[in-house]
Every structure is written in C-alpha cells, then in structure tokens.
Amino acid sequence: MKLRDAPSARPALWRSLPCPAAELRLDLVLSSGQTFRWWESSPGAWTGVLGGHVWTLRQDRDRLWYTVYGEEEEDGHPAEATKLDGAETDRILRDYFQLDVGLAALYRAWGAADPLFRKVADDFPGVRVLRQDPVECLLSFICTSNNHISRITAMIERLCQAFGRRLCCLDARPFHAFPSLSALAGADAEARLRALGFGYRAKFVSGSARAVAEGLGAEGLHRLRAAPYAEARRVLCALPGVGAKVADCVCLMALDKAEAVPVDTHVWRIARERYGAALGGRSLTPRAHQEIGDFFRGLWGPRAGWAQAVLFCADLRKGQEMAGSRERAGGGRGRDSCVGGPP
C-alpha cells in the first residue's frame, strides 16, 4: 500500500463525496489544532486514524476522495477487524466533517454581522469544526495546555504507540488506534506517560481516564451530546486537568455544542486587539472565559464556535508564517503557534 497512490492511479480503491473547497479545506482543518492524528503524507494527501481505521484523504475542486486501509495480517491471517462498506465509510466522513452543515451560508451570515470576519474569511474558506470521538478529544486536549501543535502531535503519537492497538504499517510507518479508557486508567499509566515525556500532564490524562471509566463511562461521555451546553461543560470541568478552555474545546469539537467558544491566549488577544473588547480583566479567569464567549456568541450567533475556528485558524497561520520567516532569517528552528494557555 503506497500513500502516493492518487485517485486516478487506483480508482477501484478510492471513493469520493461531493464537497467543494468552500465547504472544506483539508489543509486548513487538519493542521489547525483541532486534531492531532493526521499528517500530510504527500502533497495534498492527508493520512491519519479515524474510527479505528487508517485513511488517506485528498480533494479536488468539488470532491473529497478517500481510501481506507485494511488492518495488517497476523501470522498469515487477516487481523480481526470490522469490515466497512462504502455506505459506512461515506457516513463516517460525513459525520466527522459535519458535511450536513452548509458552511458557505454560515460564512455569509457571519460576514454580514462582522466586517472583521468578512475580511479574514476570504483567505480562509472551508474551515469547519470536526465532530470527534469524545474520549479521544478529551484526553488529547488535556495535553494542549501551554503546548504547541508539533509537540502535542508527537505526544499523542507516542501515547497511541504505547497504549493503542496497532492497525497497520504504511511506507514503514506504523499506525495505532487511540487507546481505550481502561488502557489509560491502569495503575502504571501515569508512570508510563511520564516516561514518554508528558510531564505534569501524565497525572491529568490518566486521572481523567480513570474518572470517566469509573463514572460516566465512554457511553455517558457520548450522551453529553444531548445535554445542555452548561451541563456538559460543568461535568467536564470536574475532571482532573480540565478547565474552561479544554471543556469548551471538547464541547465544540466532540459534543455538538456549536455555541462553545474555546478561549485561550489567541482568542483573548483577538477579542482585545481586533474587537476592542475590554473583557475579563488582566488574566484568563473563568469570568474572562464566560465574558469573551458571551461577546462572540452575541456577535456571531448560535454557531459562534465555528466562526471562532476560522479566526483561530487565520491567527495560527499568521503565527506560523512569522515563525518560518524568523527561522529563515536567523537560521534557527521555528516553533508553531501555541494552542494552549490555561487548561
């Protein structure tokens, strides 16, 4: 299996969905800190793990192309795995990218309400919010506080290799499923995570995995999708290492709370510098999170979290370009922008 296979080269292995660039830009969505399981395996092609399977995605002007790899064989026999038919893989991708939400119409509405959004959005079409597995989203975002994307991605990769089930190997690169709650709730999980370089986050990852496993369970976490935003946020904030920012990320990206606006240093700076919103005092307190979220909900409406994702992506890209310029000028190593701030 070669990641370089293009739709035209192996048509029998590929399927596609109608999806214009105005509705989805893979390069913006998969690299902007919403998820940490995808990498650009060849120009324009993104390979990663979704739903316990390995996928490669690419797009042209009006279609999203994809292929799903089977699990590797063990002792000459195919590994046990759920076989996905075309209808199921289509459904998984539509759900993951929330393709039933018309993004172009939302852009127009946000732009009409907000000239600053309209100015930025022209250069960043197709930025939409993913609908992720709640367990994976929760435990991944616990790792984001005071951190940056490349380091978070490497941490999540080590986490999956150490605790997750191996799925397959492509071009000598192994791929693993995200670990189960039970795997990360074990007695030795914190020590193993510390050995993997998680630092103080090791306690929070293993502690939250244990708290969910012994309390709500994975199914209970999924059921928060049907709960009011305030209730879901309250439940999440009771978990180890979960503050307002992480809770809002999980609410927005896994629990169907489109009104959730995750507030970190990026968003705080956007609110203060671009909108002149003197909100929340001098630090990111719970009150600041609430006031800034309310400000943007008032401006953008019930999908304020989606609009915020566009501005966050634009701000992130600007920071990455500035870091790249400094690296080229000074010969030093660049660092991609931080997605963290207080948990």
Catalytic residues: 245
Q: Please tell me the chain's helix, strand, coil percentages from 3-state DSSP, rounded to the nearest 5.
A: 50, 15, 40
User: Rounded CA gap, 164 and 330, in Å?
Assistant: 40
Tokens of 231: 């209730």
| SS3 call for 105 | helix
User: Rounded CA gap, 121 and 127, in Å?
Assistant: 9
Burial 146-171 (b: 16+ CB within 10 A, else e): ebbbebbbebbbebbebbbeebbebe
Q: Count of CB atoms within 10 A of residue 32's CB?
A: 23
Tokens of 6: 């293009």
Report residue 150 CA to chain centroid gap: 13
User: Rounded CA gap, 58 and 6, in Å?
Assistant: 9
User: Rounded CA gap, 209 and 189, in Å?
Assistant: 10
- Kind and range of the H or E run holding 185: none
Among the listed residues 52, 99, 95, 45, the one whose alpha carbon sits nearest the alpha carbon of residue 71 = 52
DSSP 117-166: HHHHHTTSTT-------HHHHHHHHGGGTT-BHHHHHHHHHHHHHHHSPE
Among the listed residues 216, 213, 211, the one whose alpha carbon sits nearest the alpha carbon of residue 231 = 216
